[in-house]
A and B are shown apart, each in its own frame.
Chain A
């Protein structure tokens, strides 16, 4: 099942990327998707049933809207700090406790954090995510955990777990 799911996913991706319905292209795409699914299935989701649960797609769309908004805010934030003559930065690395358990959800959260205002995820050790923050605005772990990860964590939980 997992092999099939990854095969279909990579095949659809190939078709969108090449955008060509000729037989030669279909065969080439099939071969590429086959190699991909054979090599990388061990890194794929463990429960592919999740792919056919519509409610997850709904939450994914909600997440996408929120994420895009945060992303745009992030850009104005960084642009402001860069263009301001005095450069109002106060960088540091802070710890954020993770509530998500599965690897894929964690990777997704780390990616989202990297794209949002002034933060880059550095490393995950055990259950703690280390985040480089361009403006450390509070000393309290509770407050900054919520500020950095809280917005996304609940949606990612609904999508992937």
Chain B
């Protein structure tokens, strides 16, 4: 029962992340939704799997996957944002502030 709730919440957040990926205006904002919603959604699914199996091998592996996913998602987001900026991709029209521009030059 608990596992069903966790997995449902996870799937829901993954869906929100994907909607954000389509709706938001530029690459930077899209990465926001792609990293946050999708990482927590997937972590929630993994916690659900751990509850379902208990502390046997499948459950423990699911829990171990959480820090791996966490670190790879954050590092990938950082690398993509930085790479996109250095490749000269402009920020969307709604942007209000850009302190990084002066630092790069």
* A residues apposed to B, CB below 8 Å: 13, 16-17, 19-20, 71-72, 74-75, 78-79, 81-83, 87, 89-95, 110-111, 114-115, 118, 120-123, 125, 128, 130, 132, 134, 136
B39 touches A115 (CB 8 A): yes
B81 touches A120 (CB 8 A): yes
Partner of B98, one of A89, A93, A121: A93
Report the bound CA distance from A82 to B13 in whole Å: 11
A115 touches B78 (CB 8 A): no
How many contacts between A and B, using CB within 8 angstroms? 119
B20 touches A114 (CB 8 A): no
Q: Can you list 5 contacts pairing A with B, beta carbon distance less than 8 Å?
A: A75-B41, A78-B16, A83-B16, A95-B99, A130-B99
- Chain B residues bordering chain A, tally (CB within 8 A): 45
Q: Chain B binding site: helix, strand, loop or mixed by DSSP?
A: helix
Report the bound CA distance from A55 to B95 in whole Å: 43
Report which residue of B19, B26, B70, B96 has the largest number of chain A beta carbons within 10 angstroms of its beta carbon.
Answer: B96
Give 1 or 0 for each of B25-49: 1 = CB within 8 Å of chain A CB. Answer: 1101101110111011100000000
Report which residue of B13, B77, B78 has the largest number of chain A beta carbons within 10 angstroms of its beta carbon.
Answer: B78
